[in-house]
Amino acid sequence: MRILHLSDIHFRAPECLDPDHDRDKPYRTRLERHLTGRVATMGPIDAIMVGGDIAFQADPREYEAARTWLLDLAAMCGCDSASIWVVPGNHDVNRKSCEDAPTMNAQAMISLAKSEDDRLWMLRKQLAHNGTGQALFHGHAAYNEFAKKMNCQVYPGHLYWKQERELGPGITLRIHGMTSTLLSGRNGANDDRGSLYLSPLQTIDPSPNVVNLTICHHPPDWLIDGDDVEDMLNERAMFQVFGHKHRQRIHETATYVRWSAGSVNPSHADKQFEPSYNIIELNVAGEGQERRIDVASHLYRYQPQPEGFQPIRKNDGQDVFRHWIPFPAEEAYGVRTGMMVEAVTPKTVKVQSTAPAPYTDAEAAMGDSRTRHLVDRFWDLDGSDRREIALELGLITDEEIDLPEPQRYGVALIRASERNLLDQLEQLINERER
């Protein structure tokens, strides 16, 4: 699997609306030209992961420009447009919305908790109440409108998203889009290091034969619960990508690899103005107890003379960071196989039926190509058509009718997967597209 890793694009209105006056556009053009050259040599990109700060001030116009650019970029590098995934950064939070009293109060109650147990208890209380739960996400409204077509929106009950891909025979790559911005923009101000909160509600399940990859804007040192988050990620997430710091780094260990992205469009006031991007290649090698994940990391950084992107080289002069992590095969014991089993010993597994596997993650399983495009088509329908379909299939309740659309229909689409109603959903979409 070949992944294009971007972060901190910072589309800034009104400049980004006029290509003739957008001083950042030439750097994106240089990135495009370099990337297409790399794709011609390496092969097409399978997924694009954007680690936050898509916009600069969470202006809806900034997201319109960002979506156009990301779709064009996907076409340039041969990536399916439904394989673009995003998480929010601090610039994707509308700080003016964070000055509204309900949002200020909700954030303050969590932030000022005296202990981690109190903080988690307060977060649960806030999310359980419709008013305060919605208030925590007021600042994410424009981001959610942008992210909904990628099924990457966040809301109460859906603090982070999951997608899945087949990485190799018998191995699932599960991508977790983490939200580090619940407390971002508090009182309309800039965030302080160590003031943000991920929470134990954003967790990772170390399932057998599943490789976990996390995308998060803020690295652990920006989080109140940073030590706990770091321990959890290092134990359960083989691959971790971060943004925010505008510092391009790679950290390879025996059990995980962490990439810290630079910025596609850093501030021109930065001490080191170095637009950058990464290409990450993951491949399965070996079998049984010798199975491993091979990792090739290509890190590219802009230089002004001669102008263009150049690879970051290792101390030995190599321009690819090569690494591998052992990942021995595990006996499934009937889990995630799509089958029920009679025996649980490694030597004897007798198939009884082809019933669904007991531990299927419905949301993550929505990552298959057909479902991703179905989600995109659903959002392209008129609002009245979306409402009629959701009600006809019983995917939303009367109480959910007035929720913001990214939440209302995000819930509906996940339920369609959980209840095996995707065929009916597709049929109703077909009827309304005619």
Write down the pLDDT at residue 366: 75
Look at residue 359 and tell me whether its pLDDT is greater than 80.
Answer: no
- From 271, 231, 228, select the one nearest 247 (Cα to Cα): 271
Indicate the pLDDT class of residue 270, thresholds 50, 70 and 90: confident
Q: How far is CA 131 from CA 101, 102, 105, 202, 344, in A?
A: 12, 8, 11, 21, 47
Mean pLDDT of 149-158: 93
Three-class SS state of 210: strand
Lowest mean pLDDT among 61-65, 281-285, 341-345, 364-368: 341-345
> What are the phi and psi torsion angles at 83 (to 5°)?
-110, 35
> What are the phi and psi torsion angles at 105 (to 5°)?
-65, -45
Write down the pLDDT at residue 260: 93
Q: Which residue has the tokens 């008129």?
A: 382
Whether 350 contacts 342, CB under 8 Å: yes
Write down the pLDDT at residue 182: 96
d(CA 73, CA 84): 10
Write down the pLDDT at residue 332: 58
Whether 13 contacts 21, CB under 8 Å: no
Look at residue 343 and tell me whether its pLDDT is greater than 90.
Answer: no
User: Which carries the bigger pLDDT value, residue 1 or residue 343?
Assistant: 1
Which residues are within 8 A (CB) of 366 and not within 5 positions of it... i.e. 6 or more apart? 151, 163, 372, 375, 413, 414, 417
Write down the pLDDT at residue 324: 96
Write down the pLDDT at residue 29: 95
d(CA 157, CA 179): 12
Indicate the pLDDT class of residue 316, thresholds 50, 70 and 90: confident
Look at residue 356 and tell me whether its pLDDT is greater than 90.
Answer: no
Indicate the pLDDT class of residue 135, thresholds 50, 70 and 90: very high
Lowest mean pLDDT among 143-147, 188-192, 235-239, 346-350: 346-350
Write down the pLDDT at residue 364: 79
Write down the pLDDT at residue 64: 96
Mean pLDDT of 42-52: 96
Write down the pLDDT at residue 278: 96
Q: Tell me the per-residue pLDDT of 207-241, one tens digit each, with 9 for 90 and over.
A: 999 999 999 999 999 999 999 999 999 999 999 99
Mean pLDDT of the chain: 90
- From 8, 30, 9, 43, select the one nearest 307 (Cα to Cα): 30
Look at residue 89 and tell me whether its pLDDT is greater than 70.
Answer: yes
Write down the pLDDT at residue 22: 93
Write down the pLDDT at residue 347: 43
Look at residue 198 and tell me whether its pLDDT is greater than 60.
Answer: yes
